[in-house]
Amino acid sequence: MLTDDIALTLEPEIGPRTAIHLMECFGSAEALYAATEQEIVQRAQLKPGLAKSLSRKNFHRQAEQEIAFLEKHGIHAFVATSPDYPALLKECPDYPHVLYLKGDPALFDRRMVSMAGTRDVTTYGLKMCEELVFGLAAQIPDLVIVSGLSGGVDTACHRAALDAGVPTLGILPNALTTIYPAHNTHMAREMVRLGGGILTEFHSRFTPHASVFLQRNRLIAGLTPGTVIVESPAEGGSLTTAQFALDYDRCLMAVPGRATDPASAGTNNLIKHLKARMVCSAYDIVRELDWTPAPRQREPEADESLEPDLSKDERGLLSCFRDREIVSSEELAEWSGLSPAQLAPLLLGLEMAGAIRTLPGNRYEKTIP
């Protein structure tokens, strides 16, 4: 009964591990709440005060109000004792008893990979987020990108997934009553609308505290078979996600950076100390996770008639790109010597011809050889 399960999580003295212990003792929240105070003390070895609170069902009225909140906002609740609870997460020793999802419940039936990294992402980090997500999207038809909905790498991975038409799941360090950080509210709504979702273990009455980010990070690592750390300095929150992945015996992967770049010190250290497997492409991730990619469609044979019809000025601007390099409009202006007014029609012409694609932040990428 959902009311019993939610009431259990509302007990301030019961965390994930205690909830797991109680389920091992009683089998279900319904059976727990049907027991007497003495039975709870004897079977679960709980303190008498906590056993009394459980036997008196002190939080059931609030649980009923929580269920009304879920129904009003179209939020799905997943209980750990139910078969629809994410199977991989339940393998973790500290899985939450209830999960709350705004989005498509079928997400948990797809192939998921977690991606994490620094909020202070560099241009290199942004490029790798996009290349990895787009590369995975091309190979894995039932892909879901999981990240923490924070700034930097998280935002870049969620955005790349949306641009690639891939469902993406954001894990929140707070209740679904608000989005943190607030500037990602619009993107979170877009994620839900386009087949992804936002997920949390925190009920609507939850008051955030200092450890919420650690709790959020363990979900990011626990939900999926593998976690990719895209970019991280020597110390950073994403390294706690990496440690959770190791603790849960999941595949930990890291993108290498320049040896002299502080922004990649954390990922380089993970690789150096053999904690993470080095990945440089989406193919590497697919191989490490032992996924079977979708069969590649046969590429058309080279044909001059397939080349885009570009003007002399458009070809000149295109020559400023190197293959798969992402450049900003400011860089193109510097390299080409053209003013923004001169650049705009040429960039539009190149995009219309399929020679480049526009990325967020007035950045562009060459799409043809």
Per-residue pLDDT at 302: 42
What share of the chain has pLDDT > 90, as a percent? 76
Sign, CA torsion 332/335/341/346: negative
State how far the Cα of 29 lies from the Cα of 22, in Å rounded to an integer. Answer: 8
| Model pLDDT, residue 305 | 41
Q: What are the residues whose beta carbons fall under 8 Å from the beta carbon of 101, sequence distance 6 or more?
A: 75, 76, 77, 78, 107, 197, 198, 199
Question: Is the pLDDT reported for residue 218 higher than 80?
Answer: yes
Gap between the Cα atoms of 301 and 199, Å rounded: 45
Which residue ranges form the domains of the chain, and what is each CATH number?
2-103 (no CATH), 105-288 (3.40.50.450), 304-366 (1.10.10.10)
Q: What is the pLDDT of residues 337-359, one digit of tens each?
A: 888 878 888 887 777 677 787 77
pLDDT at 299: 42
Residues above pLDDT 70, as percent of the chain: 95
The predicted-structure confidence for 201-216, as pLDDT tens digits, reads as follows: 999 989 888 889 999 9
pLDDT in tens, 219-257: 999 999 999 999 999 998 999 999 999 999 999 999 999
Q: Are 356 and 308 in contact (CB under 8 A)?
A: no
Q: Give the residue-averaged pLDDT of 146-162.
A: 96
* pLDDT above 50 for 185: yes
CB under 8 Å to 219, separation ≥6 — which residues?
89, 96, 171, 199, 201
Of the candidates 63, 66, 94, 86, the one whose C-alpha atom is nearest the C-alpha of residue 214 is 94
pLDDT of residue 306: 43
Q: What is the pLDDT of residues 260-269, one digit of tens each?
A: 999 999 999 9
Beta bridge partners of 228: 115, 253
Continuous segment of H or E residues that includes residue 115: strand 111-116
User: Whole-model pTM?
Assistant: 0.80
Question: With 60 as the cut, is the pLDDT of residue 300 above it?
Answer: no
